[in-house]
Amino acid sequence: MPQISVLATGGTIASRQDSRGASVASQGVQDLLAGVAGGTTEVVSRDIFQLGSYLLDHAHLRHIAEEVALEVARDDVDGVVLTHGTDTMEETAYLLDLVHSSPKPVVLTGAQRPADAADTDGPSNLRDAIAVAAAAGARGTGVSIAFAGQVFAARATRKAHTVDPAPFRAMDGGPMGRVGADDVQFRFRPVRPPALPVPSAAFDSTRVDVVSLHPGADALLARAAVDAGAKGVIIAGTGVGNGNHQILEWVEEAVDAGIAVGLSTRVPEGPVVPFYGNGGGADLVGAGALPLGSLPLFHARLLLALRISHGETPAPDMLAPYI
């Protein structure tokens, strides 16, 4: 019988209305598991914290990564499930995937409807996540998100709808698997690059900001980010990753000052393709901006932050396996 460790961090799946009628994460893991565990899987569990994922910072993410690594290292644990709010689940999943080196699966899940809603989706999602973590076919797939009967690889998955019960969408090929009535079926296995070191304490204070471009945008916000202590800034460019002359001037200044500048796009799908001049992506890359391929914008932010926190200077060849 496989043994799965369930770690809880709060989120909608653990939320109930307070005296004001607002939903607040307040349930522990034992409440979440009531009526869920059993069958052919043995479950051990513990709480990490109880927070909505909109409250998490880098220190919380590092703590989650450390706790997951401890569970994965246990000889008696075959897989790990992490309950988490959906607001930033994609970011935590991606960070965990970057540092996950074991064949044991790690599966994130949560809910779109709180625990005290008549139609809460938390128990079914948690049941599915445990099934995925226990499935033999999940070994070697890294970190995934199990939600609404589908299984998504962490690398290219984003929350695409605020309230839909199936909010996640894979940006490069759809879900990698589905949870059936009696089994878990996988369509493909993600190709995963070498694992990076688990975040150190330096990750907590490593600031990487995102600046989105629009008609009339200047470099004021990018400069303010650096003044506030950012060691990296990602430009969410227009189209395939374009800027303008003011942003180009700032990129030249920032790169000269040792600031890591990433080039992404504000477009939900598709890669950065730096081939426009006259302030476009080709000029930004020529000035030292790092093109971030098809990696989702906020995944890219974590990748830069992790590498910078380890004392590295991000470069195209260093980032290439991860984008």
Residues with a known catalytic role? 12
Residues 6 or more apart from 177 whose CB is under 8 A from it?
132, 137, 138, 144, 150, 151, 184, 185, 186, 187
Rounded Cα–Cα distance for residues 288 and 309 (Å): 20
* C-alpha neighbours within 13 Å on the C-beta side of residue 237: 35
Tokens of 142: 């890294």
Q: Which residues of 148-182 are buried (b: 16+ CB within 10 A; e: fewer)?
A: bebbbbbbbbbbeeeeeeebbbbbeeebbbbbeee
The DSSP result for 66-78, as a single string, is HHHHHHHT-TT--
* Cα-based torsion angle of the residue sequence 302, 307, 311, 316 in order, rounded to the nearest 10 degrees: -130
Give me the DSSP letters along 171-236. SSSS-SEEE-SS-EEES-----PPPPPPP-GGGGG--EEEEE--TT--SHHHHHHHHTT-SEEEEE
**For residues 101 and 304, what is the distance between their CA atoms, to the nearest angstrom?**
19
